[in-house]
Amino acid sequence: MHKNSDIIQQPPIWGKTERPESTLPFVQPTGTPEEVANSNATPYSLFQLFFDEVFVNHLVFHTNLYAEQEQMRPAKTYKATTFDEINAFLGINLLMGIKRLPSYKNYWFNAPDLHDSYISSLMSQKRFGWLLGHLHINDNSTMPNRDSDQFDRLYKVQPLLDHLEKAFKNALLPSEVLALDESMIKF
C-alpha cells in the first residue's frame, strides 16, 4: 500500500499540436472590401461605414420621439434635434475620447488649460448635455415588461447592435484563422 504523496506526477509535455485539416478549402475573399479599400477614404467616410445616414436618421427620430414623450410632463419643452446636430454630437463624443478631461463640462470652461475652442464652437454645453440625456435608439413606450416572454434586456440598444453587426460585416472580411482574446469569448 502506498500513499498518494508517493505517486510522482509527470509535468505536462509542451509542444506543437497538429491542426486538423479542413475537409473544404477556405476560398472566401479576405481583408478590406474593394469599395472601402479603393476609395479615397476620409475620416468622415470611414465614420459613415458604421454610422450611415439611415442610422443617424434613426437616432434623430427616436431622440425626438423620446423628447416628445418627455414634453407631455408639465414644464418640459425642447427643440427637436437634426441630422447635422446628431452627427456633430457623435463627432464630439469621438473627440472627447481622444482628448480626455474629467467631465464633459470641462470642454466648455473658460480656463485655458481645459477649454476646447473647437468642441465649444460646434455646440453649446447646455445642448450637448440635453442630447446626452435624451439620445435614444428605441421607443420606450413599446418595450415589453420584465415579466413578459418577449422581454429583452438589450431592448434599448438592440437597433445599434443590429446595425453595427451589419456594418462590421461590410467593413472587414475576416480570414480563415482568427485570434480572439479569452475575455471576448463571452461576448
Q: Where are the domains of the chain?
A: 41-141+150-166
Distances (CA, A) of 159 to 59, 156, 165: 10, 8, 10
Query: Rounded to an integer, what distance in angstroms lies between the CA atom of residue 129 and that of residue 135?
Result: 10
Q: How far is CA 167 from the centre of its chain?
A: 11
Residue 100, classed as helix, strand or coil, is coil
Which pLDDT belongs to residue 24? 82
Which pLDDT belongs to residue 186? 72
CB-based contact 158:138 (threshold 8 Å)? yes
Binned average pLDDT, 10 residues per bin, the chain of 187 residues: 63 70 80 77 86 96 93 78 97 94 93 91 96 95 91 94 92 83 75
Secondary structure tally for the chain: helices H, strands E: 7, 0
Q: How far is CA 176 from the centre of its chain?
A: 25
Single pTM value for the model: 0.76
Which pLDDT belongs to residue 46? 85
Which pLDDT belongs to residue 93? 96
Which pLDDT belongs to residue 4? 57
Query: Rounded to an integer, what distance in angstroms lies between the CA atom of residue 9 and that of residue 6?
Result: 9
